[in-house]
Structure 1
Amino acid sequence: MLKLNVKNEISRLRAVVLGTAKSNGPTPSLEEAYDPKSLEHIKAGTYPLEEDMVKEMEAVAAVFKKYNVKVYRPELIENCNQIFARDIAFVIDDVFVKANILPDREVELEALQYVIDQINPVKVIRPPEEVHIEGGDVMLWNDYIFIGTYRGEDYPDYIVARTNTQGVEFIEKTFPHKKVKSFNLRKSQTNPRDNALHLDCCFQPVGKNKAILHKEGFLEEEEYEWLLNYFGKENCFIISKEEMYNMNSNIFSISEDVVISEKNFTRLNTWLRKNGITVEEVPYSEISKQEGLLRCSTMPLIRD
């Protein structure tokens, strides 16, 4: 049996699901694009190639091996994008939550069934249908659960809005011992520089008490200010629009003093090292063209 345990973003990682880029399928048509960044690259003819993305993900797998992290990969589905493991499920404490994802991504969850079979069935839950919530919007921080959402009445019109207010309420009800704090995120179907697809596109805690933040990702300034004050201005690394577009907040912590980051994030990686954090650099710029990076493609199962 797998004894799940995830209480925050930074405790020492022991077991993780890492997505796969193998048999990723052909380049999507414009109509099939889920997000404005993929759309941009499909139009430009620069959509990432499978072989490049496979190489990038293997580099991450190698880092996990170096740190003795047990890695589970999804079973292979032909011609299916299975990179973003974080979207389809997430763990809170010792509970495995299946996300209600876009219907045509349901098969991605089936590819993890062999992992789910190792978990106590009582600890596997699925929210009711009207609840939309994806792992990229769920950020654990000990007593807190931070959740990205979109509160606009036009929520149904946005394919880039992935977590609704019912999603926030579901987490509040299911985990009553936690303090749930939600954040209204900026959404754009057309401009990737104005679109915070998930909370981890504009915020992530790192190290013992630090955070990466992007102000414009938040629709309500006081919610951004709340995070800034909670972590303390001096502990926050504020990223620009361009850095947000390149997914600088979407790195991944193996422990409070080790992170995996993209090798081109020069400014961020320098700051992390200055703060005593070991940075394992990997190439991930091809995968980032699909508006997801390291946190999006990993789903922690066990942290100390």
Structure 2
Amino acid sequence: MIYVENEYARLQKVVLAASEFGYPEKVRTDDLRFLAPEAVTDNENSKGKDFREVHPELQQRWEQERTALEQVLLKYGVEVLRPRMLTSAEKQAGGEDGYANFFVRDPFFTVGNCVIEGSMRFLHRRGEVLPVRDIMQAAVYPEDCYYVAIPRPEIAQPDDPSLGPGPFLEGGDVIVMGNTVLVGNSGLASNAMGVQWLKKFLGKQGYTVEMVRLHPNILHLDCALGLIRKGLMVVCPDAFPDGVPAVLHDWEKIPVTLEEASVLATNGLPVSSEVYITDPVFSGVGERIAAHGVQVEYIDFRISRSFGGSFRCSTQPLLRKDD
């Protein structure tokens, strides 16, 4: 079965990211404004190289982080699927733009019984869905569900800082709340054209799709809010120029600062309404969540977070449903 009911229903089947990154040869510094300064410097100093080559010890720790997350998920009975690694041909095809196979949340996403391949804005991530295609073949095609892809983005002029009109639509911006779907737009990832396409597709199936403006230094919507269970969320109010979306006004809020959000304080992962995974660096947030009767699991995810993503970014559910 393929179905995602919301962000906090019981996680039953999930794709867990690999750990591959090839630095672009041309660094667009403004597009890296969501990263810590040391990460921006690292990109500038490592142009055209593979992260494994530049930082072999960090590569090992990065892989261990994802293995630790897999072990916790297995402990709670979650079926975990892993993408294959990029082929040499796929890496070469990235050319000077580099390549990525590191945050499976973004290149595709699941809403209800719809599996949707997204459209990535950053050039080094344009082929990131390819290592997931084997999983689509084995786990999605046989099921009674939709499997579609947003149109390929237009090719921009080399000097166009916007990277073109898109459409861009990335899973980190997509928050599922039953028949309501929120889509973030900060200027770094998903854009209005991508949201228009999603409205066109999901609207006929009874979904309401709402675009949410984000602070320009926030990469995705899930870097600004995280739903813990029905009625409870962790959120960065300063990340929303127009205020927290109206559909969430009655929810109890565990607030974090913009500085905390920038290091992924909201990007934990509910295993269910009773269990939540986050990083021990956010123990203060974890304690506030635990005070609501939610069990909190802690995993050190500092290497993953240095790339601008954390637990939600590293996973993409195929089945999240309360029986």
Same fold (TM over 0.5): yes
Matched residues in 2 for 1:145 and 1:52: separation? 35
Q: Provide the residue aligned with 1:53 in structure 2.
A: 62
Q: In 2, distance between residues paired with 1:209 and 1:199? A: 18
Q: In the alignment, is residue 247 of structure 1 matched against residue 276 of structure 2?
A: no
Query: What is the identity, as a one-letter code, of the residue corresponding to 1:95?
Result: C
The 3 A distance-change label for structure 1 pair 228 and 11 is closer
Query: Which stretch has the larger CA shift, 33-42 or 73-82?
Result: 33-42
What one-letter code is carried by the residue in structure 2 that aligns with 1:41?
Answer: E
| CA distance in structure 2 between the aligned counterparts of 1:42 and 1:69, rounded to whole angstroms | 32
1:4 alignment partner in structure 2: 2
From 242, 263, 268, the counterpart of 1:220: 242
Out of 184, 194, 215, which is 1:186 matched to? Answer: 215
The reply to whether residue 128 of structure 1 matches residue 164 of structure 2 is no
Which residue identity is paired with 2:107? I
Structure-1 residue corresponding to 2:224 = 202
Q: Given the superposition, is the C-alpha separation of residues 81 and 51 from structure 1 closer, same or farther in structure 2, using an over 3 Å criterion?
A: farther
* Cα distance in structure 1, aligned partners of 2:27 and 2:195: 29
Which residue in the other structure is 2:125 paired with? 105
Q: Which residue of 2 aligns with 1:271?
A: 288
User: In 2, distance between residues paired with 1:85 and 1:32?
Assistant: 22
User: What's 1:167 paired with?
Assistant: 194
TM-score, length of structure 1 as denominator length: 0.84
**CA 1:301/1:61 → structure 2, altered by over 3 Å: closer, same or farther?**
same
2:222, 2:266 within 8 Å by CA — same for their partners in 1? Answer: yes
Are residue 64 (structure 1) and residue 111 (structure 2) matched? Answer: no
Moved more, 141-150 or 267-276: 141-150
Write the deviation string for residues 41-99 of structure 1: whole angstroms up to 9, x where unpaired: 24555997211211111110110111121111110116753220011000111111001
Q: Gaps (5+ residues) in structure 2?
A: 44-50, 92-98, 153-165
Partner Cα separation in structure 2 for residue 73 and residue 243 of structure 1: 29
> Residues 66 and 32 of structure 1: is their aligned pair in 2 closer, same or farther, counting only changes over 3 Å?
farther
Q: Matched residue pairs, number?
A: 279
Distance 1:40 1:301, change over 3 A: same
Match of 1:143 in 2: 179
Secondary structure of 1:197's counterpart equals: coil
Deviation track 1:19-42 (CA, whole Å, cap 9, x = no partner) reads: 011x544x6667167522546224
> Deviation of residue 143 (structure 1)?
2.1
Counterpart among 256, 269, 291 of residue 273 in structure 2: 256
* Aligned alpha-carbon RMSD (Å): 2.3
Shift of 1:108: 2.2
